[in-house]
Amino acid sequence: MEKEKAKQRIKELTEQLNHHNFLYYVEAKPIIDDFEFDKLLKELEDLEKLYPEFQEADSPSIRVGGQVTKEFISVEHGYPMLSLGNTYSEEELIDFDQRVHKLILDPVEYICELKFDGVSISLIYTNGLLEKAVTRGDGVRGDDVTANVRTIRSIPLKLKGNDFSGEIVVRGEIIMPRKGFDDFNMERVEIGESPFANPRNAAAGSLKMQDSAEVAKRPLDNFVYYLMGQNLPFKSHKESIEALKNWGFKVSAHYRLCNSIDEVISFISEIGMLRSKLPYDIDGIVIKVNSLKQQEMLGFTAKSPRWAISYKYKAEQATTRLKSIDYQVGRTGAVTPVANLEPVQLAGTVVKRASLHNADVIEKLDVRIGDYVFIEKGGEIIPKIIAVDMSKRDLFSEPVTFLNNCPECGTLLLRNEGEAAWYCPNDDFCPPQIKGRLEHFISRKAMNIDSLGEGKIEMLFDHGKVRTVADLYSLKYEDLFGLEKVIAGKDSGKDKKLSFKEKTVENILNAINTSRNIPFERVLYALGIRYVGETVAKKLARHFKSMDKLMAATLDDLLGVEEIGDRIAGSLLEYFLVPAHLQIISQLRDAGLSMEQPEAAILSEKLSGRVFVVSGVFSQFSRDQIKQMIELHGGKNASSVSGNTDFLLAGDKMGPEKRKKAEQLGVKIITEEEFILMLE
């Protein structure tokens, strides 16, 4: 493509993709699907690699991340991030209103907003472009997390419109919505990582990660609620919020202008009943004087503004009796205990069940059948047991003994050293594990067979149509048409019949056929190998390039891959030793699924024939990016230093053994800066 045409196309794609990002992440009204979006983004990324000088400042490719931050720089806030006074009672709200009216004789309007349970962030824009993002810190100084914040798609990199100039500061809250949090935690458990305690901790931990490419994969979102800057034309807080919305920021729809403290209290009560149904956590309501002039007149104390206060909801609790404990088996074989409770009203819903997580939690709580337990929602959808009411315990109650055998197939359970969960090792013949693997295989991040959902997979399994993921690709029209399943009615008491009709069958077969085009790294993830999550699957696919090479890999070969440890390597070796697994892979290959990683287009031959070992942490690029650059310029990557190695590319915290071996073999050791010079 000619330079001028490439420049124009990059500009067009940038505008187009940013518009789709806004529609999806801010307006929640997408007009294209993920496949179309990814296709356009890939075209943009390819053009930017060829013509990096034409990359726009707000390029959506920046959202993918890749910058590694070894140390977060401390930055002084231009406007201190003060804390708000908290209250838990209506009386204290009335006191606040009286204090305001002692200083302001004119009528006062209040604006009420949701108090998000996340991480406060200060966004600095210069002439409409995001320049810096800083955490709250101690209120005076915070950490510069710009590289990570750029990956959050609901935060504009460039503002819409032109009614702004100079520097403006936008305050907001970075959150992790509950659905994204639950999915994210599930992935962590599947690969053997500890789950985060709540969405706020997950958001805070994500913001301080060193690799922004990893942050980009986390389901972070953002709402903004305050604007500051010199000579702004707005007279009220409501006007500034409307301006933020017009500039492309995500502003909560749940805010209200109130003419009295009674209206404020009414709004707090209204949101209190609604908050359990919100898709994200809030822990209160922020009340601000709406007039900016009146805010200025009221001023500040040493720690907080006099014109604002936050009302915090108390975590809702209830007491009920533990009737029994069920044990559920997940797709990886992990056995999760679930408490069956006497129904009790809590935060607007009737609670009948609560997760007990694992055997250690049962032991720590010392919870027993028949105990009266305290349960709490605290803004979360899934209730948790927080304590036992010992005053009501039966003297003859006995401690709970965790199961020895799988509740589904009877196999003796195992527990790996250092892990909290008990597992059923009968992964190929335990029904819930089989169904779980099928559901994982069709999921959006795996094979994306969107016409098959959980109920339909169960239907196919129960009718004996599928037993392995490979069976999906043998399904024919006559296998599906007319299948029926009766679903018991939960509320109405009336049973419902699910049946596969002509259109349903066509949609299923079309979706299965389309999934044959899914790339190898997602096929590998879809297999559901224990500890091989989405990120690990990508690293393995890009390192070994094909399923055959991965299956032939030794323990040392696997450990040579970045971030692959003993546990993941051991799981892979065990998986490929099972003949049934090899048969499934063979059947998937015969069905036309991709078993090879496509080679990246070569940009130059500058590194042709050169073998590199990359080790350590780098300042300008991630290790994956450097390895990709080596291949794009004709070089080869190796995992360990040998006599064939030409260069050891050394970053910070590089393993001393690699350096020692390179020195012994006379391999040239180069820095990141020297490597970049080789490409220029």
- List, by residue number, the catalytic residues: 115
Query: What gap in Å lies between CA 387 and CA 368, rounded to an integer?
Result: 11
Q: How is residue 620 written in tokens?
A: 């300008």
Residue at token pair 């943009």:
44
> What is the dihedral angle through the alpha carbons of 93, 96, 100, 106, rounded to the nearest 10 degrees?
20
Contacts 24+ apart (CB under 8 A), 579-583: 580/428, 580/468, 582/551, 583/470
Residue at token pair 């070894």:
70
Query: What gap in Å lies between CA 618 and CA 672, rounded to an integer?
Result: 7
Q: What is the DSSP string of 3-48?
A: HHHHHHHHHHHHHHHHHHHHHHHTS---SS-HHHHHHHHHHHHHHH
The β-bridge relationship of strands 647-650 and 611-615 is parallel
Q: How many helices (H) and strands (E) does the chain have?
A: 24, 23
- CB-based burial label for 92 (10 Å; 0-12, 13-18, 19+): middle
DSSP 3-state of 638: strand
Q: In the beta sheet, which residues pair with residue 111?
A: 257, 288
DSSP 3-state of 536: helix
Q: Which residues of 468-478 are buried (b: 16+ CB within 10 A; e: fewer)?
A: bbbbbbebeee
CB atoms within 10 A of CB 41: 19
Query: What gap in Å lies between CA 136 and CA 226, rounded to an integer?
Result: 14
Q: In the beta sheet, which residues pair with residue 116?
A: 282
The β-bridge relationship of strands 221-229 and 255-258 is unpaired
Query: What gap in Å lies between CA 523 and CA 515, rounded to an integer?
Result: 9
Phi, psi of 325 (to 5 degrees): -130, 125
Q: How is residue 34 written in tokens?
A: 């993920």
Phi, psi of 256 (to 5 degrees): -145, 140
Contact between residue 51 and residue 226 where contact means Cβ atoms under 8 Å apart:
no
CA 21 to chain CA centroid, nearest Å: 17
| Cα angle: 629, vertex 11, 605; to 5 degrees | 25
Query: What gap in Å lies between CA 625 and CA 627, rounded to an integer?
Result: 5
Q: Which residues of 616-627 are buried (b: 16+ CB within 10 A; e: fewer)?
A: bbbeebbbbbbb
DSSP 3-state of 351: strand
Radius of gyration, alpha carbons of the chain: 28
The β-bridge relationship of strands 282-289 and 110-116 is antiparallel
Residues in the chain: 680
- CB-based burial label for 466 (10 Å; 0-12, 13-18, 19+): buried
The β-bridge relationship of strands 636-638 and 611-615 is parallel
